[in-house]
Amino acid sequence: MERPILKSPDEIEQMREANRIVARALKLMAEMVAPGVSTLELDQAAEELITKAGAIPAFKGYPGASERVPPFPATICASINEEVVHGIPAADRILQEGDIVSIDVGAEINGFFGDAAKTFGVGSISKKAAKLLEVTEHSLMKAITTMKPGSTMRRLAHSVQTTAEEAGFSVVRQFVGHGIGRQMHEPPQVPNYVPSFGFGEGYEFETGAVLAVEPMVNIGGSAVRVLKDGWTVITKDRTLSAHFEHSIAVTENGPLILTEI
């Protein structure tokens, strides 16, 4: 079973800065998202905020899944509607009234990483889309409450999955959350569903674990595929998908959300 690299209280304190910068960038995104805005404009604004804060955009230059896939070229991932995660910002990707857009931000400072994501409605959105956003965010926030020493990965994954499925939605299985610290992706994997076989209780949370929990929830089926650009993940049935993520430290007093301002 994968275990996290545990952080001391002092290291967790040091991790706050990267995570606060990520939270500030997401707040800026919330203010900017509107019909007519391109995802490239969002990317440039996020990059400016991160670099002015003295931090480094964590996704830019991230290696692709194979040699044929170029490194990720941008500061944010911006994934519109049926796009699940890892959408590449572009000048010709203009947000339209009624769209939803998932924005994922990562930053590094003081040798530590921060990572968070949120899905925003563009102008007024359909009731179904609004429910998807509400349920996905709730699936994250409810799961976070389980992150106490002695609780288990199974309990967290079960919490995310049941919140999404009880609302009639499905969770993406192909992509998962992760430990975070001196690297953006550390062990263990943090699934948003309970695998059918051989999972057991999974990792038992300890004080000092820091995990990025990131449910991706689809209105339709859970299947996804990657587009030819090697990055953009979409739902196979082209239904809407939402993504919410926080980086959270497990402390003796319970979960501490680092990606809040």
Residues interacting with Mg ion, by CB under 5 A?
115, 212
HSE-CB of 81 using CA atoms within 13 angstroms: 13
C-beta closer to Mg ion: residue 74 or 212: 212
Closest CA to 224 of 86, 126, 84: 84
Question: Count of CB atoms within 10 A of residue 168's CB?
Answer: 11
C-beta closer to Mg ion: residue 43 or 186: 186
Instruction: Give the sign of the dihedral formed by CA 59, CA 60, CA 63, CA 67.
Output: positive
CA angle (256 as vertex; 250, 260 as ends), nearest 5: 145
C-beta closer to Mg ion: residue 22 or 125: 22
C-beta closer to Mg ion: residue 85 or 122: 85
Shortest distance in whole angstroms from residue 128 CB to Mg ion: 26
Shortest distance in whole angstroms from residue 79 CB to Mg ion: 13
8 Å CB contact between 216 and 241: yes
8 Å CB contact between 258 and 16: yes
Shortest distance in whole angstroms from residue 12 CB to Mg ion: 18
Shortest distance in whole angstroms from residue 18 CB to Mg ion: 13
